[in-house]
């Protein structure tokens, strides 16, 4: 149980991966793209690669890579970058995946330039393609994270459409990131120390045998942000900014996500009742 609860994201904690600040893009227009829902539950979008196509590809939020089948890659004139492919150690780790850079990948009117993709005849893609080829044509690949991460992406199965708003997010190079992540393997097994950069002014404790939701407040410092917000000794914190606080580790994580001066909703159990307060942590430690 303890391990489950400590399953906290390494990704969200590493300072290098803090959400990148981007200028507001309110003026960016939402691009609406229809999709075709297959009876398998997958959905398919029309994709242009380098202006060629449209090709039909499965859109997949669970795909860390964009995949293009060999024939389609050839038709769109996509070749390996640098010619040498993923040689050396990276190649060894990734099984020699054939990664290319797609100069222009368009899903409807949503355009991503210089986005990575892997050229591969994937058995699952082929199985889906074979099943639907007669009915609606072949399926040529999968659109994944490197594309949709560049947008605020909304999926509406009822209207069978997606909307994309460019958000300035830079997805990076998946294979390289994966490689770096593996290189940090040693570091990973060490405990991680988190310093939020905000001070709230309370302490919490949880006994190991206490498996109920929430965590008990053991001390509230006078005149601290927590005291000003009315947090009291004996309160049981259930959520901080919507995040569960069932363990000390969870509480540390929830607290670490707030920025100094940001007003954060906190749900408590006090005298058997649920109470909502708002705490504004300050820059401090």
Partner 1 sequence: MKILVAAFAIALAAPVAQAAEPAAVEVPYRLTDTKHVLVRVKLNGQGPFNFILDTGAPAVFIPKKIAKKIGLELDDKGWGHFDSFELEGGLKVLKASTRVADLFQLEGMNGMGLAGVELHGVIGYNMLARFRITYDFTQDKLGWVPLKFEPPAIQSVGKGGEGQGSLDMMGNIAKMLAGFMGIKPNFEIYSAGFLGVEFEEKKSGLFLAAVFKDSPADKAGFKVGDQLENFRNSSIDDMGDFRRAITKTRPGDEVKAVLRRGDETKTVSFTLGKGL
Q: Which of residues 6-65 bind partner 1 (CB under 8 A)?
A: 6-13, 17, 19-20, 22, 37, 39-43, 58-65
The 8 Å CB, 24+ separation contacts for 218-227 are 224/199, 224/200, 225/199, 225/200, 225/201, 225/279, 225/280, 225/281, 225/282, 226/200, 226/201, 226/202, 226/279, 227/201
Nearest distance in Å: CB 47, partner 1: 15
Candidate list 134, 209, 273, 285; residue touching partner 1; CB under 8 A: 285
Nearest distance in Å: CB 277, partner 1: 15
Which residues, 71 to 90, sit near partner 1 by CB under 8 A? none
- Total of residues contacting partner 1 (CB under 8 A): 104
Nearest distance in Å: CB 115, partner 1: 13
Does residue 70 interact with partner 1 by CB under 8 A? Answer: no
Angle at 70 between CA 62 and CA 179, to 5 degrees: 50
Give DSSP secondary structure letters for 234-246.
Answer: T-EEEEETTEE-S
Does residue 183 interact with partner 1 by CB under 8 A? Answer: no
Does residue 148 interact with partner 1 by CB under 8 A? Answer: yes
Asked whether the beta carbons of 268 and 236 are under 8 A apart, the reply is yes
Which residues, 89 to 118, sit near partner 1 by CB under 8 A? 92-95, 97
Token match 């705490």: residue? 279
Stretch that binds partner 1, among 47-55, 68-76, 79-87, 162-170 (CB under 8 A): 162-170
Which residues, 208 to 267, sit near partner 1 by CB under 8 A? 219, 221-224, 239, 241-244, 246, 248-249, 251-253, 255, 257
Nearest distance in Å: CB 97, partner 1: 8
Asked whether the beta carbons of 202 and 219 are under 8 A apart, the reply is yes
Candidate list 82, 127, 133, 278; residue touching partner 1; CB under 8 A: 127
* CA count, 13 A, side-chain hemisphere, 204: 24
Stretch that binds partner 1, among 49-57, 68-76, 98-106, 202-210 (CB under 8 A): 202-210
Cis peptide before 85 (omega within 30 of 0): no
**Pairing between β-strand 161-166 and β-strand 110-119 as defined by DSSP bridges:** unpaired
CA 228 – CA 214 distance, rounded (Å): 21
Nearest distance in Å: CB 16, partner 1: 12
Question: Which residues 6+ apart lie within 8 Å of 74 measured at CB?
Answer: none
Nearer to partner 1 by Cβ, of 186 and 271: the residue is 186
Does residue 124 interact with partner 1 by CB under 8 A? Answer: yes
């Amino acid at each position: 149980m303890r391990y489950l609860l400590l399953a906290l994201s390494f990704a969200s904690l590493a300072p290098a991966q803090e959400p990148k600040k981007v200028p507001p893009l309110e003026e960016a227009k939402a691009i609406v793209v229809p999709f075709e829902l297959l009876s398998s539950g997958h959905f398919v979008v029309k994709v242009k690669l380098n202006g060629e196509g449209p090709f039909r590809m499965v859109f997949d939020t669970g795909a860390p890579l964009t995949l293009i089948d060999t024939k389609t890659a050839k038709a769109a004139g996509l070749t390996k970058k640098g010619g040498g492919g993923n040689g050396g150690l990276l190649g060894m780790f990734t099984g020699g995946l054939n990664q290319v850079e797609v100069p222009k990948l368009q899903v409807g009117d949503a355009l991503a330039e210089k986005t990575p993709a892997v050229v591969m005849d994937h058995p699952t893609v082929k199985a889906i393609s074979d099943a639907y080829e007669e009915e609606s044509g072949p399926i040529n690949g999968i659109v994944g994270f490197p594309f949709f991460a560049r947008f605020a992406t909304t999926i509406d199965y009822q209207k069978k459409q997606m909307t994309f708003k460019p958000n300035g997010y830079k997805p990076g190079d998946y294979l390289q990131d994966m490689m770096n992540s593996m290189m940090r393997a040693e570091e990973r097994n060490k405990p991680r120390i988190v310093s939020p950069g905000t001070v709230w002014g309370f302490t919490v404790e949880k006994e190991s045998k206490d498996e109920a939701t929430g965590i008990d407040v053991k001390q509230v410092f006078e005149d601290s942000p927590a005291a000003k917000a009315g947090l009291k000794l004996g309160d049981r914190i259930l959520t901080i900014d919507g995040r569960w606080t069932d363990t000390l580790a969870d509480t540390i994580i929830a607290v670490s996500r707030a920025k100094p001066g940001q007003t954060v909703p906190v749900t408590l159990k006090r005298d058997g009742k649920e109470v909502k307060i708002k705490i504004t942590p300050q820059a401090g430690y």
